[in-house]
Chains A and B, each alone.
Chain A
Amino acid sequence: MAFEDLLNDPVIQKYLHELVGPTGMPVAAAPPDGEVTDEELAEELGLELNDVRRALFILYENDLAEYRRVRDEDSGWLTYLWTFHYENIPENLEEEMYRLLTAIEDREEYERTHEFYLCEVCSIRFEFGEAMDFGFECPECGSPLDAMENDRLIDAMERRADELRDELNVDVTG
């Protein structure tokens, strides 16, 4: 098996699982060295050919596998020979770290500039305006809505955003 060092990282395992789902995971978790056909993988892993193909195409869409087609001269059938490119995983995850940072920064701004009310029974959060429209009563269960502090949430966002910026060497602007 190739790329064992990467696959030992629990975050990378989780990432692959997120992409291909549980049925595709046997394909994603055991990339062979060199080229392999979808039929070989299905046979080796005891999976349906369709599930193998689905997983391979998801990996392909994420730059983690590529294929070349070879025509069998006798039968005229096309064979797909697949190569795994897990060396691209770190760069994909780097990109995800940037995306996450952007989302945290946007959300932090929203959390700082709004006030929230909570129904403790239903665990639903309302913006101040919504809560007022409902007369500060939960529209689901009728319980009173209480003002909700989000300092802890903001602190957590700030902390993770700092860690991400530090790790990605993003300069703080503004």
Chain B
Amino acid sequence: MSVSELEADLSEDEQAGLELIRETGGIHQSDFWKELDVSSRKGSRIAEALEESGLIKREDTVYDGHNTFYLEPAARDLDFSLLMAGDMLSPFIGEEEVDGQSDAFSQWLMNLAYEEY
């Protein structure tokens, strides 16, 4: 399923939780439920459901001296079209080195300046 289809299946609370994780870029579960204004149990269920759907990453961590989880948006949720300039993909894909002066990158930047924006 695509990200938008997955999102359509979320409950209202899960939507709000996902929104919060995206806005913050990453948040501890112990802050997550407080921000959402739900019980810690409910916050935990929401985070589990979002992890299950693959929309977020949830990793064990220690925060303020107690065990909790760190919640952040999953990579699949990123806007990969930011690698494109017009119809050209980032020239560094498949390359070992990133050369900011290469002709291919100059071409990519020209596309960006004159086609995209």
Q: Which residues of B contact A152 (CB under 8 A)?
A: 113-114
Interface assignment of B105: CB less than 8 Å from any CB of chain A: yes
Is B84 an interface residue when CB atoms closer than 8 A count as contact?
A: yes
For residue B78, CB closer than 8 A to chain A, the reply is: yes
CB distance from A171 to the nearest CB of B (A): 9
Cα(A160)–Cα(B112), bound, Å: 8
The one of B75, B99, B110, B117 in contact with A155, judged by C-beta atoms closer than 8 angstroms, is: B117
B65 within 8 A of A: no
Nearest to A101 among chain B residues (CB) is B82
Given contacts A152-B113, A167-B79, whether A5 and B2 have CB atoms under 8 Å apart is yes
Chain A contacts for B110, CB-based, 8 A = 153
Segment among B12-20, B29-37, B88-96 that sits at the interface with chain A: B88-96
- A87 CB, nearest partner CB in chain B, Å: 8
* A164/B93 contact (C-beta < 8 A), A155-B117, A156-B117 known: no
Q: How far is the CA of A14 from the CA of B86 in the complex (A)?
A: 13
Q: Does B98 contact A (CB under 8 A)?
A: yes
**Interface residue from B78, B85, B94, B113 paired with A93 (Cβ < 8 Å):** B78
A-B pairs with CB below 8 Å: how many? 95
A9 pairs with B80, CB closer than 8 A: yes
Instruction: Bits for A1-36, please: 1 = Cβ < 8 Å to B, else 0.
Output: 000011011011011001100000000000000000
Other-chain contact of A5, B1, B78, B105 (Cβ < 8 Å): B1
Task: Report the contact-size class of chain A (Cβ under 8 Å from the partner).
Answer: 35 or more
- Contact of B82 with A18 in the complex, beta carbons under 8 Å: no
CA distance in complex: A12, B113 (Å): 23
When the two chains form the complex, which single residue of A18, A90, A99, A106 contacts B78, counting CB atoms closer than 8 Å? A90
Residues of A within 8 Å of B38, CB to CB, are: none
Residue among A9, A18, A97, A103 with max Cβ neighbours from chain B (10 Å): A103
Can you identify 26 A-B contacts, CB atoms within 8 angstroms?
A: A8-B2, A11-B81, A11-B83, A11-B89, A15-B83, A18-B93, A18-B94, A90-B74, A90-B78, A96-B93, A97-B80, A99-B98, A100-B92, A102-B98, A103-B98, A103-B99, A106-B100, A107-B100, A153-B109, A153-B113, A156-B112, A156-B117, A160-B82, A163-B82, A164-B82, A167-B79
Enumerate the 9 nearest inter-chain pairs by beta-carbon distance, A residue then B residue, closest first: A169-B25, A90-B75, A156-B113, A90-B76, A106-B100, A11-B80, A94-B75, A107-B100, A103-B100
